[in-house]
């Protein structure tokens, strides 16, 4: 069987959207106050993000729904507007290492029984996902740059204060995996 070159594999892989386990986020939050709440009870606006590889771990980076303020904000090392902010943004400051068992792929298929609000939301997700896949290299570079700035102690205090502590979260990831009999995974773009 012919194997793909790793660089070609990375280029060919497209992002998908995932929801992350509230229990896992709650576990990480015990050691890192910056880990976001998942708001799983909000069925119409679930906590959705993309998964990619950073430092040998799968990292989940959450998206935020569009807000008027996004149109006027600037992209930063920890924040990337999707389509100029019209379709929301990616919050790299809230990215966390994650085991695939703590993820659930988001089904964006529009069903005949969907209400208008559900159809609108699924269309927004489809637009966001298309944009993310078209800008994959920018997303990966931005995530790695933020990771390196934070973990190497080169970030301004205000950036450190709003970012998850990636080093602590990676330690907690290992503890979580061990406690739940999960094999440690090598990171890959999902």
Nearest 5°: phi and psi at 143?
Answer: -65, -45
From residue 120, how far is each of 98, 124, 134, 160 by CA, in Å?
A: 29, 6, 21, 35
pTM of the model: 0.87
Give the pLDDT confidence score for residue 46 in this predicted structure: 52
Helix (H) or strand (E) holding 128: helix 116-134
User: Per-residue pLDDT for 44 more than 60?
Assistant: no
DSSP for 26-50, written as a single string: HHHHTT-TTSPP--TT-TTS--EEE
Domains of the chain, each with CATH number or no CATH: 6-179 (3.10.129.130)
pLDDT band at 87 (very low <50, low <70, confident <90, very high): very high
Q: What is the pLDDT of residues 124-162, one digit of tens each?
A: 999 999 999 999 999 999 999 999 999 999 999 999 999
88 Rama class: left (phi>0) / alpha (psi -120 to 50) / beta: left
Q: What is the pLDDT of residues 47-60, one digit of tens each?
A: 799 999 999 999 99
């Amino acid at each position: 069987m012919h194997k793909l070159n790793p660089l070609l594999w990375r280029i060919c892989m497209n992002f998908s959207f995932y929801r992350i386990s509230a229990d896992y986020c709650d576990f990480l939050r015990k050691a890192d106050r910056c880990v976001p709440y998942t708001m799983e009870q909000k069925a119409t606006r679930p906590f959705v993000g993309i998964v990619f590889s950073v430092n040998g771990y799968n990292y989940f980076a959450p998206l935020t729904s569009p807000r008027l303020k996004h149109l006027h904000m600037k992209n930063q090392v920890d924040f990337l507007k999707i389509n100029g902010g019209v379709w929301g943004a990616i919050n790299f400051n809230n990215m966390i290492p994650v085991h695939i068992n703590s993820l659930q792929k988001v089904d964006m298929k529009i069903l005949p029984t969907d209400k208008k609000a559900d159809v609108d939301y699924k269309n927004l997700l489809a637009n966001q996902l298309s944009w993310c896949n078209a800008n994959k290299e920018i997303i990966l570079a931005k995530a790695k740059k933020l990771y390196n700035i934070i973990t190497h102690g080169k970030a301004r205090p205000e950036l450190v204060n709003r970012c998850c502590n990636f080093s602590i979260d990676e330690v907690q990831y290992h503890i979580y995996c061990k406690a739940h009999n999960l094999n440690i995974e090598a990171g890959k773009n999902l």
